[in-house]
Structure 1
Amino acid sequence: MKAKIGALLLCAATACSVGYAATPEAKTLYKNTKSAAAASYKAALEKCDSVVGNPKDVCVAQAKAARVRAEADATAQYRNTLRAYTKARIDIANADFALDRTRCGAFTGNEHDVCVERAKATRTAALADAKADKKVIEARSDAREDKRIAEYKVAAEKCDALAGTARDQCVAAAKSQYGY
């Protein structure tokens, strides 16, 4: 799970925050992944039919959580934006919370209350991490942009010492280098 989150953060910190036009291959992969998630969910539900009581509820919740995780990951990779990756992490945290709450059904009394509070705490931590990571990535992106602008201004200022075509070439080179 941590490796997957790290990959999401790395992707979101780099080019993934920009987004792109989906290729036909990406769309096909997305649809296939969603279909596979639905098929896995159906198969897991069929396995749950042989169980009764709370273990059946847990089995169903596990199937739902696995489906949500697969679909959220597929959607995030397909959309390839910071917002999509953050939403996927939030959806996964909520699905895991539902699973944890279902597992708590096996307990009674104080043990049940402690289990529910632990599930809430885990979800709160996951949601806070997702939102904080999004803010960190956005702040780093803003900082990169500010640095790029500052470096361009320095390069443009250096060009002011030149005259004529040398100055024009210097300005053109600075614009080209810093994306203006």
Structure 2
Amino acid sequence: MKHLRNLMALAVAGMLATSGMAMTKEEHSAAKDRIEADYKAAKAQCDTLKDNAKDVCEKEAKGNEKVAKAELEAQYKPGDKNTYKVHEARADADYEVAKEKCDDLSGNAKDVCVKDAKAAHVKAKENAKVARTQAKPAANTTAKQADVADAKKDAAEEKREADYKAAKERCDSMSGDAKDKCVADAKRTYAQ
């Protein structure tokens, strides 16, 4: 599924590079119909699977649909807002699939898996926010550099917090002094 998403992204990028004009309403509508048809076909393939594999497949299909729709909107109405929505849709789709894959696990392993998925989600969303800030036009370069620096600082804090929560969750499988040392190491590593 990941390769399909990459292939779709390349196809959209190719269409953007080759088309000198904006997308017409008819082209937009046709592309939307293709995305919906692709989603229905992918979902139909999921019906042959069972249990959590089916759930994962369905999350991948839905995520690919959302990403494709966001990419289509970014192509139809280019701008930093829609570009950000593409990154956000991709992060959300990856997170939903990763969370669903965690359902195959149990106990602390499942909790760690979910925290790792959340940390990856936070990182992707924060990177998208930084990229959006970098892409925004500014009145002067000093103001833009300050905005980018602030965005990077905020992103770093959010990423560190998410990584700390995941590391702390790993410590929960331990007990006594080993757990205390693990938590202390996590706090020191992620400046908590």
Q: TM-score range by the shorter chain?
A: 0.5 to 0.7
1:110, distance to aligned residue in structure 2 (A): 1.7
Verify: 1:87 aligned to 2:77, yes or no.
no
Percent of aligned positions that are identical: 30
> For 2:135 and 2:48, how far apart are their aligned partners in 1?
46
**What is the TM-score when the length of structure 2 is the normalising length?**
0.60
SS in 2 for 1:142: coil
- Cα distance per residue 1:133-177 (max 9 Å; x no partner): 111222x54336x9xxxxxxxxxxxxxxxxxxxxxxxxxxxxxxx
Verify: 1:137 aligned to 2:126, yes or no.
no
Q: Structure 2: any 5+ residue segments left out of the alignment?
A: 1-5, 144-192
Task: For 1:83, give the aligned amino acid.
Answer: K
- Cα distance per residue 1:25-74 (max 9 Å; x no partner): 43223222211111011111111111110000001011101111111100
Once the two structures are overlaid, the 10-residue window that deviates more, 97-106 or 29-38, is 29-38
Aligned partner of 2:168 in structure 1 is none
Aligned partner of 1:65 in structure 2 is 63
2:63/2:89 contact within 8 Å kept: no
1:128 to 126, 151, 163: 126
Aligned partner of 1:166 in structure 2 is none
Aligned partner of 1:15 in structure 2 is none
> For 1:142 and 1:50, how far apart are their aligned partners in 2?
55
1:65/1:95 contact within 8 Å kept: yes
> For 2:48 and 2:80, how far apart are their aligned partners in 1?
41
Aligned residues: 128
Verify: 1:117 aligned to 2:115, yes or no.
yes
**What is the TM-score when the length of structure 1 is the normalising length?**
0.63
2:95/2:117 contact within 8 Å kept: yes
> For 1:84 and 1:65, how far apart are their aligned partners in 2?
17
Runs of 4+ aligned structure 1 residues displaced above 4 Å come to none
Within-5 A mapping of 1:129-168: 129-138=127-136, 141-143=138-140
> For 2:29 and 2:94, how far apart are their aligned partners in 1?
24
Once the two structures are overlaid, the 10-residue window that deviates more, 83-92 or 61-70, is 83-92
What's the Cα RMSD here? 2.7
Q: Structure 1: any 5+ residue segments left out of the alignment?
A: 12-21, 147-180
1:87, distance to aligned residue in structure 2 (A): 1.6
Within-5 A mapping of 1:19-38: 23=22, 25-38=23-36
SS in 1 for 2:50: coil
Larger relative contact order (Cα-Cα within 8 Å, sequence gap ≥ 6): 1
2:70/2:89 contact within 8 Å kept: yes
2:80/2:132 contact within 8 Å kept: yes
